[in-house]
Amino acid sequence: MQPGTVDAKTRRQHEAFVDSPQFAGELARIPLKWRGRVVSQALELMSVWHWRKIFEPVAVKFVRDFAEQYVPAGIDLSQDDADICATAEKAAENVKKMLWTAISDTHARDIIDQECSDYGVLAPEVDDDDLRAVIARVVDPRWWRRQLRKVVGRAFEGGNIRLGYVHYHGEPFASNDAVLSRLAQNRRNAAALEATIVHNEAGQEFSIAELAEKTTANKSIRRGELMLRINGFEAIARECNDAGLFLTWTCPSRFHATLHNGKANPNYDGSDPRAANKYLGKMTALARSALARRGIGLYGFRIAEPHHDGCPHWHMLFFVRALPGYSTPHVKDVAGRAVRIMKRYAWRVDRGEPGAFKRRLDVKRIDWSMGSAAGYIAKYVAKNIDGVADHKTKEGYVVTTDTAGDYELTPSARVEAWAARWGIRQFQQWGGAPVSIWRELRRVPEDMVQEAPPAMAAAWNAVQKIKGEKRACWADYLRAQGGALVKRDDLMITLAKDSKAVVGRYEERERITPYGVYCRQMVGVVFKSVRHVWTPVQGNDARASAGLGFPWTRVNNCTEAAAPGFAAEVSFAPAAAPAPIKFAADDSAQIHHAWLALGACPWPRPVVKGAPIGPAPVPAMTADEQRRAVASWDAIKACPWPRMAPVMDLTPRRGTPRQVADWRAGRLDATELPIDTKPKKGNTP
């Protein structure tokens, strides 16, 4: 019998093993959606290895390796967003409790690293390695929520790709789970933007959703600006007789999980789309450096787009020109020389695989007699932002709109969910003047440029648009800045930036904000821009004006009576930071007594005649006295030494199910619940 083929009796033996309790324990971490395909792949491996009588260890090892790669430790991939939020609350509370046991900074870092590792996330990295900023993040449920959403989403999508759910004949570009999750996130964001009302110093009042519609967050505005810039580059290329190229750069076979026929790719090495996009970025960066060394200038746009299995490829519209330092002046075909250099890096990895020279880099030269160069890339811009009627891929397949329940999954929604899930930048400008200066010039009022130098006046006029009368011109803006290949140090217009220290959510940091522009032709003069200061509108009127019908608190109406003294109308929204407590001189003795009662002392320790003050024998403190002592330490920025956690109140309490849920979530202190004179199992904090 050939390896890989088994008879019916052996097949039943394999199936009996995968149905056994031993193998069921190995499948416990695998989401239900995946188990059928994981078992099928395990059975295939068992058939291959059955002739050596070691099929059972092979199947177990396969499941364990799969779980280690696609199921992060401590994470349930089947949980929804509400469960992720609950897990974030739990993780933040665990870190708070564990940090009480830290005896040094090194010990605190070890605790943080271990807690983050238990949930499959990376410990936060901050500037200057400030431990206080790190702790501020890991004790914040919002930080954990962001990290867990990223880890769970990418792990689940990676498993969907690995098991063959994402392809032309199934769920193209991104899985239905990823698309539905992205649509739900967009709905939550839209509701939050509609609910938030802001006003400026001029008395204008808008919702953030209304303001976002006037920016590039609006898909039609985003598409229009991209096409405006592409047309501007084309105008410069025609003016300077620069050669145009339309390139499609793809990844080696090992980055593709599924073949076009829907079958698994035997060369796939498990790389996710983020790793594939990083590979493309590395190879194109090497090619650009090589072009610069040989004196070939390059400018244009690149667009990242997914293959049917989620692996990215890049479409690039570039214009090339020989610079004064062109190293091979005898080669008149500059575009051909640039293509040869790019192919060298496109074929650099896995050079010997079949089809590499044909598919790795597809090149089309722009024929100006055939029409506009922007037409080569316009459809890719449209179908990756707000969609087109016919979403046809480079292989000739047509991706149509699908449905999942009551939701419509359009091809552009799949592409947008793919880019958001893997953190891939879809559009990027190469070369040319920065778009940040273009946008800042639009904020400069007309009276500021009445007597401006020629370069400033030309750049300002280029960015202005009047509906129905005048359109902005990216080509004129590039001419005013010094051309499409101008270096950053040679720009005629630059940003005027202001740096100031701001208190952020986690630490104080330097924030750099532009407040105008400089012009090289008028040194030392700032053309100030107009920026509004938007302040949130507080109060019920703001929500009423937004058309929202939900209460301010999360308390719902309940028929069960609340415990005496329980305020059902309390809001659980984050409260403002309390004012720092200021102690009078007479209170210092009481605080000192609290330290001594716990066998602790302030830090740094006060020294009298070279010896630190030690604790005095005093009666033991109650749990309530310990809580007051901890509040005193926090108020004066001190800490016990060695650190001691307050004694937990083990008094049996009673309360409604809502009160017990709030107590378990940390929103209600146990002392606020009435004492249970007849305790039952499970109601002791």
Does residue 544 come out as left (phi exceeding 0), alpha (psi in the -120 to 50 range) or beta? alpha
For 369, list phi and psi in degrees, rounded to 5: -75, -15
Active site (catalytic) residues? 376, 380
> Which one, of 148, 161, 429, lies nearest residue 306 by Cα?
161
**Residue type at 275?**
A
Please list, in sequence order, all residues whose beta carbon lies within 8 angstroms of the beta carbon of residue 600, skipping any fewer than 6 positions away. Answer: 615, 640, 641, 642, 644
Q: What burial class does residue 38 get, using C-beta atoms within 10 Å of its C-beta: 0-12 exposed, 13-18 middle, 19+ buried? A: buried
> How far apart are alpha carbons 96 and 135 in whole angstroms?
9
Q: Any idea what the Cα angle at residue 107 is, between residues 106 and 109, rounded to 5°?
A: 65
475 to 232, 371, 428: CA distances (angstroms) = 4, 18, 18
> How far apart are alpha carbons 242 and 616 in whole angstroms?
85
- In DSSP notation, 141-200 reads HHHHHHHHHHHHHHHHHHHHHHTT-SSTTSS-SS-HHHHHHHHHHHHHHHHHHHH-EEE-
> How far apart are alpha carbons 69 and 519 in whole angstroms?
53
- Contact indicator for 600, 640 with CB cutoff of 8 Å: yes
- Contact indicator for 143, 122 with CB cutoff of 8 Å: no
**Residue type at 138?**
V
SS3 content of the chain, % helix, strand, coil (to 5): 45, 15, 40
> How far apart are alpha carbons 480 and 311 in whole angstroms?
40
> How far apart are alpha carbons 242 and 431 in whole angstroms?
14
Please list, in sequence order, all residues whose beta carbon lies within 8 angstroms of the beta carbon of residue 647, skipping any fewer than 6 positions away. Answer: 622, 623, 626
- Contact indicator for 146, 423 with CB cutoff of 8 Å: no
Assigned token pair, 153: 């989403």
> How far apart are alpha carbons 113 and 491 in whole angstroms?
45
> How far apart are alpha carbons 521 and 458 in whole angstroms?
12
> How far apart are alpha carbons 253 and 358 in whole angstroms?
13
> How far apart are alpha carbons 590 and 596 in whole angstroms?
10
